[in-house]
Amino acid sequence: MKIAILGAGALGCYYGARLQESGQDVSFIVRSEYGYLKEHGLEVKSLHGDISLPHVKVYRDPAEVGPVDLVVVAWKSTANAGFAKALPPLMGPDTVVVTLQNGMGNAEEIARIIPADRIYVGLCFICAMRAEPGHVTHLEGGNIQFAPFVPSPEGSEKARELSELFASAGIKTRAFDAAEQIQWYKLVWNIPFNGLCLALGGISIAELYQNPENVARARRIMEEVVQAARARGYTLPDDLVEFHLSRTESMGSFIPSSAVDYNAGRPIEYMAIWGDPLAKAHQAGASLPEWEQLDRDIRKRLNMD
């Protein structure tokens, strides 16, 4: 299968490496690390088994790749203005696009460029860091949930096919029928932990857990996100908050992506992770005092007000 990975950060490199190792024809479309990847390849150090790829197909311009069977979007939502240039050269008559991006609003942006029924959402639960060019460290997780952007029987079947494709690369997967349901599932973690680590100045999970009040606050925010999902018509597992709390404590020195971007002076995925989901929750009439306070703290940290 011909697969194009848009974005070669930790996420794109990890899943692209797994797919290439499983025998798929993978092309990485990159910006900053083009030279290193072309000369040295890609190394992944993972708790699920290390991967060494001395040779990877790497390109700067999607037009050099041409039409593929599957486009995997792995860049930050802050790069979404690039869809208009990047997607058309990759699209053939049967090409589908999977966005593995954080938060909400990404599939809607892609739907401005290609038919909405060819778009799928993949929600990743993974701790991975790019320590240096061409080297990814995978610390925890890696599971993906897939769902069609436009619900339909055909979309659900294709989501199952995508799930099987990634499962054949050694990735735990599950297919769902509705994209918004799985988006809320991940936001239960992303909103509080990505948000608190950012709002508190770009700290790690270990630093966050040093203060019990931070953990208590994260719990309260998670419970509100679960309530927001319910108000939107999506019931999440009863044990989801406890599950996220227990898995997060073991992440140690891991720094969530928005805190990493803040520390590096890069743009933050504010709208995708906090702005758009909060607006959807407000539309549904949810009461969210803890989440709203976090939102104010983030906006203050980013000098948005």
Would you name the residues annotated as active-site residues? 186
Sign of CA dihedral 110, 116, 118, 122: positive
Question: Which pair of structure tokens corresponds to residue 268?
Answer: 């933050």
Reported residue count of the chain is 305
Q: What are phi and psi of 4, to 5 degrees?
A: -110, 130
**Nearest Cα to Cα of residue 113 among 93, 92, 90, 87:** 87
With contact defined as beta carbons under 8 Å apart, do 146 and 175 qualify? Answer: yes
> In DSSP terms, which residues pair with 129 in a beta bridge?
137
**Nearest Cα to Cα of residue 166 among 70, 95, 42:** 70
Q: What number of H helices and E strands is found in the chain?
A: 15, 10
Distance of alpha carbon 207 from alpha carbon 25, whole angstroms: 41
> In DSSP terms, which residues pair with 58 in a beta bridge?
28
Distance linking the first and last C-alpha atoms of the chain: 47
Query: How many of the other CB atoms lie within 10 Å of CB of 213?
Result: 7
Distance of alpha carbon 236 from alpha carbon 209, whole angstroms: 25
